[in-house]
Chain A
């Protein structure tokens, strides 16, 4: 399951991810001044971070097993996420949000593992 040897398709995958990521981060430097992005594209780009992150968060929280919707209050991911939203909204402090919601998550998980 856990090997030292790297497989050929893993090399393609890592190389592809590296090229794509570096390309995205670097592309604006050589093309700036020569080419202007359409206004709509630039405005759309501003939505990308919160939208992508949300689309990663929501399924991992309400479908923790990747298949079934779990909206029960016994779902620690759901409770932890609700806690993170409340703490984040109130205090706007990243560290506090992560630490407190993780503690709540673990406490919830532990409590229902016993019951």
Chain B
């Protein structure tokens, strides 16, 4: 089981920077892979170590990116808009939601608002990274913040939390980010091209990769009663409110889920249930 736990770690709930307890033992097996590279402190070796440790998540992102390109093409988005989204937005789940909104004929301001809600979780990632980026200049902060996807955050925060006195961890973070970014844009391009050649590809059911990936991401969060309550609520409300126009049901479900989670937290506040 310990080796399997390395994967949970990658996806685990963002911990506060000081929370090292329990993390190291879980990280053990994963860290073994980059012990060798981290003994060399050059920025370049850190960059490649970051890319290497991101590899398992790249494998999951490949079908994701290709399907995004394919679906975007069949939803009627232009080539430039689809590539532009992967280049400048760089946020997989919100790009998927955007495609389904475009299909439903949603107006762009509503799509931007939904993007805001879907990506709000990244604010927490930024908050977690504040102490780790504090000695970097503004340009570095901007570049690394742009690349704070779920995947790179998970990989980089694990590295930052490992206290080995290394100073070039931002190169590690950059390596992870550049690998994700290059892969995401390449896969989008492949999906766009393949979607044009094989328009029936969108009917192959490859779109199941999205719920499959998201289920894999959600499961490690389900460790407390309030978290269960909030997720179950969100699931039910997403169906009940599914008929609302402009996919507003997603936001209603999200707000209801968070509210129920906070209320439950209050109810169980005697015990320390929070992650």
A residues sitting closer than 8 Å to B (CB atoms) are 1-7, 9-18, 20-22, 24-29, 32, 37, 40, 42-63, 66, 69, 76-77, 80-81, 84-85, 88-89, 91-95, 97-98, 101-102, 105-106, 109
Nearest CB in chain B to that of A9: its residue: B108
Residues of chain B within 8 A (CB-CB) of A5 are 78, 80
- Pick the contact of A40 from B80, B222, B262 — CB < 8 Å? B262
A13 B126 Cβ-Cβ under 8 A? no
Judge whether B123 is part of the interface by a CB distance below 8 angstroms. yes
B126 A28 Cβ-Cβ under 8 A? yes
B residues sitting closer than 8 Å to A (CB atoms) are 4-5, 7-8, 10-11, 13-14, 56-57, 59-60, 63, 73-74, 76-81, 84-85, 88-91, 93-94, 96-98, 100, 104, 108-109, 111-112, 115-127, 129-130, 133, 141-142, 145-146, 148, 150, 195-196, 205, 207-222, 226-227, 230-231, 234-239, 242, 249-250, 253-254, 257-258, 261-262, 265, 274-275
Whether A92 contacts B215 in the complex (CB less than 8 A), given A47-B261, A53-B93, comes out as no
- Pick the contact of A25 from B96, B122, B239 — CB < 8 Å? B122
- Pick the contact of B7 from A27, A60, A63, A94 — CB < 8 Å? A94
A48 B120 Cβ-Cβ under 8 A? yes
A105 B212 Cβ-Cβ under 8 A? yes
B175 CB → nearest A CB, Å: 18
B125 A25 Cβ-Cβ under 8 A? yes
Whether A55 contacts B213 in the complex (CB less than 8 A), given A4-B80, A24-B119, A46-B275, comes out as no
- Pick the contact of B123 from A27, A60, A95 — CB < 8 Å? A27
CA distance A49 to B117 in the complex (A): 10
Nearest CB in chain A to that of B150: its residue: A49
CA distance A76 to B94 in the complex (A): 24
Nearest CB in chain B to that of A91: its residue: B4
Nearest CB in chain B to that of A23: its residue: B116
Residues of chain A within 8 A (CB-CB) of B98 are 13, 17
Q: List 25 A-B contacts (CB under 8 A).
A: A1-B76, A2-B196, A14-B81, A15-B88, A25-B146, A26-B141, A26-B146, A29-B129, A29-B141, A40-B262, A44-B261, A46-B274, A49-B150, A49-B217, A52-B118, A53-B214, A53-B218, A54-B218, A54-B231, A59-B242, A80-B211, A85-B219, A92-B219, A94-B10, A94-B11
Instruction: State the majority secondary structure of interface residues on A.
Output: helix
A61 B211 Cβ-Cβ under 8 A? yes
Residues of chain B within 8 A (CB-CB) of A4 are 78-80
- Pick the contact of B235 from A21, A22, A45, A54 — CB < 8 Å? A54
Residue of A25, A28, A69 ringed by the most chain B CB atoms within 10 A? A25
- Pick the contact of B116 from A24, A55, A58, A102 — CB < 8 Å? A24
B121 A89 Cβ-Cβ under 8 A? no
B146 CB → nearest A CB, Å: 6
Residues of chain B within 8 A (CB-CB) of A60 are 207, 210-211
- Pick the contact of B119 from A21, A28, A32 — CB < 8 Å? A21
Closest 7 CB pairs of A and B: A16-B112, A51-B257, A28-B126, A55-B253, A10-B81, A6-B80, A13-B108
Residues of chain B within 8 A (CB-CB) of A29 are 126, 129-130, 133, 141, 145
